[in-house]
Structure 1
Amino acid sequence: MITSADTAGAQSAAQCKEERRILVNACKSVITRRPPSAYCCQRLRVTNANCVCPVITPQLAALIDVNYAIRVIQSCGRQVPRHFKCGSITTP
């Protein structure tokens, strides 16, 4: 579910870049399909989608297993609405 954290005051480009860096570092194990750590899940729950979605280019989207990513996000307690558009990806 997109929460008020996603639509709260706009973050600067530098703040968004830092949020993405922290998320990527926290969730590196997910890339190799290992279960997300508690810290990864915490970051998935609090990271602003408005900071992440704009960097999902068609090239990056081609590398992502969308269904797996959705399962990981949901297993961490964050809802992903059907047909949610995030960069070049639209969820099933």
Structure 2
Amino acid sequence: MARSLAYCFALSLTLALLLTLTVHPVTSEECSNDMSKLSTKCRQYVKYPANPKIDPSKECCDVVQKSNIKCVCGHVTKEVEKVISMEKVVYVAAKCGRPLAKGSKCGSYQIPKAINLV
């Protein structure tokens, strides 16, 4: 049962990202590649529920470090926000040393002024 749910989640996230790329064409191949890599390496750290937060792996952080976060955030749609916890996205970015600018937006989510990394 858990494997079926995990598979459905992975499929849903992949479809949401593909939908994002179809509805909002990515202007650069780099951004598209970043979204794909983030989906693959960081999915388990940003999925719902919002708690508990799990520290990301080195592989996830490596992708976060190399990604064009501004471009990726510009392509986060409501559909994507239905399958990932934006609160966890903020947490993972901060844990990986690439904190999102406080008060900025990633998709429709406004980054809080105070971020709790505990």
Q: 1:12 Cα shift?
A: 5.0
2:55 matches 1:35: yes
Q: TM-score, normalised by structure 1?
A: 0.69
Tell me which amino acid in the other structure corresponds to 1:22.
Answer: K
Question: Cα 1:65–1:12, aligned 2, differ >3 Å: closer, same or farther?
Answer: closer
Q: Larger radius of gyration, structure 1 or 2?
A: 2
2:66 matches 1:51: no
1:80 corresponds to: 100
Q: 1:85 Cα shift?
A: 1.2
Within-5 A mapping of 1:58-77: 58-77=78-97
CA distance, structure 2, for counterparts of residue 21 and residue 63 of structure 1: 15
State which of 7, 12, 32 in structure 2 corresponds to 1:17: 32
**Identity rate of aligned residues, in percent?**
27
Q: 1:47 Cα shift?
A: 0.5
80-89 or 38-47, which deviates more: 80-89
Tell me which amino acid in the other structure corresponds to 2:102.
Answer: R
Give unpaired runs (5+ residues) of structure 1. 1-10
Query: Is this contact kept in 1: 2:46–2:85, CA < 8 A?
Result: no
Give unpaired runs (5+ residues) of structure 2. 1-25, 48-52, 113-118
SS of residue in 2 equivalent to 1:27: helix
Q: Runs of at least 4 residues of structure 1 off by over 6 A? A: none
**Cα RMSD (Å):** 2.3
Q: TM-score, normalised by structure 2?
A: 0.57
Q: 1:83 Cα shift?
A: 1.0
